Amino acid sequence: MNTTSLEFAVVGLGILLLLAEAFIDRTNKDYLAYLGAAGLAIILVLSFLPLQGPATGSPDSAFLTSDILSVFFTRFLLVSTIVVLLMTPGYKPVLARYLPAEKEGAGVGEFTILPLFVCAGLMWMVSAIDFIMIFVALELATITLYVLSTYLRQNMASLEAGTKFLILGALSTGFFVYGITWIFGVTGTTNIVSLPQSISLLPESSTLPLLFGVALILVALSFKIGAFPFQFWVPDVYQGAPTPVTAYLSVASKAAGFVVLLRLLVALETVPVLAHKLYAVVTLLAGVTLIFGNLAAIPQTNMKRLLGYSSVAHAGYLLMGVASLGSLMAIPAIGLYFAAYLVMTLLSFVVLMVVAEATGGEEISRFNGLSQRSPLLAGAMLLAMASLAGIPFTAGFVGKFLIFEVALKQGHFGLVAIGCITVAAGFYYYFKVARAMYWQQATEETPIPVSMTIKLLIALLGAGILALGIYPGPVLAALR
């Protein structure tokens, strides 16, 4: 089976659902989410069949590859999209509140379907080995995400988030394109794989322009993954965007950015002049991102914003892994970290969505006394927070362990020292949520209703956290 067919299957699924949305006259659009999730699940299953990349020599082979990284992250993206789709039925009330709808359920369908196109874009992105393909796929995902972030048209926060995302995103696109231009101009190629070879033929004088181009690409990728000082959109957009979209942004979109960064670095690693400089820059980025993300998260009071800062913080840990690419274990470590990040972040967003809907707000104080109102939600959130903070026997711990292992192996002692401080800071702000849920008294005592779908999601994601935390072997094996 050819890898590209997976992406087309997702696109096809999206178009199919669009048609269904247009022609089936039902006010309840939940079926779209379930259909989409089921379709993606089938595609996920298909991805476990023996996969081949595009045949050598075919035009597609210049754009796409099918290596461990792409396969792993394709599945990763499918899983996160499934979760996000399953979240949407629970988000209906908010959509209804903020959309100028003529009748019930209007706009819900598109909200469910657009993520599929994002997913297709991101899937292309993680398999792409050519800057042109990366650019197109990235824009497919990003432009759709602009729409999704602004989706709550009558909610000021959502509009503001969308606008900020749009302008800063377009700015980063500009830099990305300019970077591609320079790399192409100097080397004559846009293909990442053939880049090292092209560079090796270049005269010495071309180094500076090449570095310029690479730097601009790094800027764009840093923006995508939310590394300091290009993280400014992250907290604002995360806070304002609809919760499922935030979840998606923080997991899937970030992962795709990292995959591109990894591909670029892996390719350029063989170029001595570049590799050294790139690692130095990535190391520095990792350090400042760690500090900013973790420390600025400390005083946060809004849960979604906190998760935004936490996402920056985790980008810092991931960058630490990227800075250690010299180690064989680095890519598995990053992959595992992402797997962990997926389950724990999505779990916290799922719980956040339910709690925010029930309490009418996203502040941490809304979680007060949750353990009395709903032990299930509180327990799930506690598990997610423990994992994010890196407590053993959760996925987050295994991820941190592997990342710090490779960082130490590569001798990044400064980063590790920063890591120690930031992990302690992380304990503080993640446990703030635990404090609200367990120490504080609830203002009202009524239990929070949880739908079957959400329960299922919580169970699956929770099990995922524990499974990854106790027995990460299979995931790690998939990355080697």
The distance of closest approach from Cβ of residue 58 to other proteins in the complex, given in angstroms and rounded to an integer, is: 10
Q: d(Cα 443, Cα 365) in Å, to the nearest integer? A: 10
Q: Read off the tokens for 19.
A: 């048609």
Q: Which stretch binds other proteins (CB under 8 A): 42-50, 112-120, 260-268, 352-360?
A: 112-120
Q: d(Cα 327, Cα 323) in Å, to the nearest integer? A: 10
The residue within the footprint of other proteins, chosen from 16, 41, 51, 139 (CB under 8 A), is: 139
Taking CB under 8 A as the rule, does residue 296 contact other proteins? yes
The residue within the footprint of other proteins, chosen from 38, 42, 45, 170 (CB under 8 A), is: 170
Contact criterion met (CB below 8 Å) for 419 and 404: yes
Taking CB under 8 A as the rule, does residue 31 contact other proteins? no
The residue within the footprint of other proteins, chosen from 357, 409, 455, 467 (CB under 8 A), is: 409
The distance of closest approach from Cβ of residue 332 to other proteins in the complex, given in angstroms and rounded to an integer, is: 10
Q: d(Cα 63, Cα 55) in Å, to the nearest integer? A: 11
Half-sphere exposure of 259 (CA within 13 A, CB side): 35
Taking CB under 8 A as the rule, does residue 311 contact other proteins? no
Taking CB under 8 A as the rule, does residue 467 contact other proteins? no
Taking CB under 8 A as the rule, does residue 275 contact other proteins? no
DSSP 8-state secondary structure symbol assigned to residue 130: B
The distance of closest approach from Cβ of residue 239 to other proteins in the complex, given in angstroms and rounded to an integer, is: 5
Positive or negative, the CA dihedral 139, 304, 102, 27 is positive
Name the nearest CA neighbour of 146 among 162, 168, 134, 159. 162
Taking CB under 8 A as the rule, does residue 23 contact other proteins? no
The residue within the footprint of other proteins, chosen from 405, 455, 466, 478 (CB under 8 A), is: 405
The residue within the footprint of other proteins, chosen from 51, 132, 193, 478 (CB under 8 A), is: 132
Residues 178 to 217 in contact with other proteins, rule: CB under 8 A: 178, 180-182, 184-190, 198, 201, 203, 205-206, 208-209, 211-212, 214-216
Nearer to other proteins, 50 or 445 (CB): 445
Taking CB under 8 A as the rule, does residue 404 contact other proteins? yes
Residues 40 to 79 in contact with other proteins, rule: CB under 8 A: 59-60, 62-64
DSSP string, 230-299: S-THHHHHHHHS-HHHHHHIIIIIHHHHHHHHHHHHHHHTT-HHHHHHHHHHHHHHHHHHHHHHHHHHTT
Nearer to other proteins, 72 or 135 (CB): 135
DSSP string, 30-85: HHHHHHHHHHHHHHHHHTTS--B-SPTTSGGGGTB---HHHHHHHHHHHHHHHHHH
How far apart, in Å, do the first and last CA atoms of the chain sit? 21
Q: Which stretch binds other proteins (CB under 8 A): 32-40, 78-86, 105-113, 355-363?
A: 105-113
Q: Which stretch binds other proteins (CB under 8 A): 43-51, 82-90, 102-110, 456-464?
A: 102-110
Taking CB under 8 A as the rule, does residue 84 contact other proteins? no
Taking CB under 8 A as the rule, does residue 272 contact other proteins? no
Nearer to other proteins, 31 or 277 (CB): 277
Nearer to other proteins, 4 or 250 (CB): 4
* Amino acid at residue number 189: T
The residue within the footprint of other proteins, chosen from 19, 68, 421, 463 (CB under 8 A), is: 421
Taking CB under 8 A as the rule, does residue 175 contact other proteins? yes
Residues 233 to 252 in contact with other proteins, rule: CB under 8 A: 233, 235-236, 239-240
Nearer to other proteins, 33 or 236 (CB): 236
Q: Tell me whether the omega of the peptide bond preceding residue 203 falls within 30 degrees of 0, making it cis.
A: no
Taking CB under 8 A as the rule, does residue 136 contact other proteins? yes
Nearer to other proteins, 289 or 345 (CB): 289
Nearer to other proteins, 167 or 456 (CB): 167
Nearer to other proteins, 48 or 439 (CB): 439
Residue 447 dihedral angles phi and psi, to the nearest 5°: -65, 150
Name the nearest CA neighbour of 243 among 358, 94, 133. 94
Contact criterion met (CB below 8 Å) for 124 and 137: yes
Contact criterion met (CB below 8 Å) for 290 and 415: yes
Positive or negative, the CA dihedral 321, 325, 326, 327 is positive
Q: d(Cα 297, Cα 311) in Å, to the nearest integer? A: 10
Nearer to other proteins, 79 or 195 (CB): 195
Site string for other proteins, 354-393 (x = CB under 8 A): -----------------xx--x------x---x--xxxxx
Name the nearest CA neighbour of 241 among 354, 135, 319, 146. 146
The distance of closest approach from Cβ of residue 363 to other proteins in the complex, given in angstroms and rounded to an integer, is: 14
Name the nearest CA neighbour of 350 among 370, 379, 380. 380
Contact criterion met (CB below 8 Å) for 352 and 302: no
The residue within the footprint of other proteins, chosen from 126, 218, 340, 448 (CB under 8 A), is: 218
Q: Which stretch binds other proteins (CB under 8 A): 161-169, 247-255, 257-265, 349-357?
A: 161-169
Taking CB under 8 A as the rule, does residue 269 contact other proteins? no
Q: d(Cα 169, Cα 85) in Å, to the nearest integer? A: 24
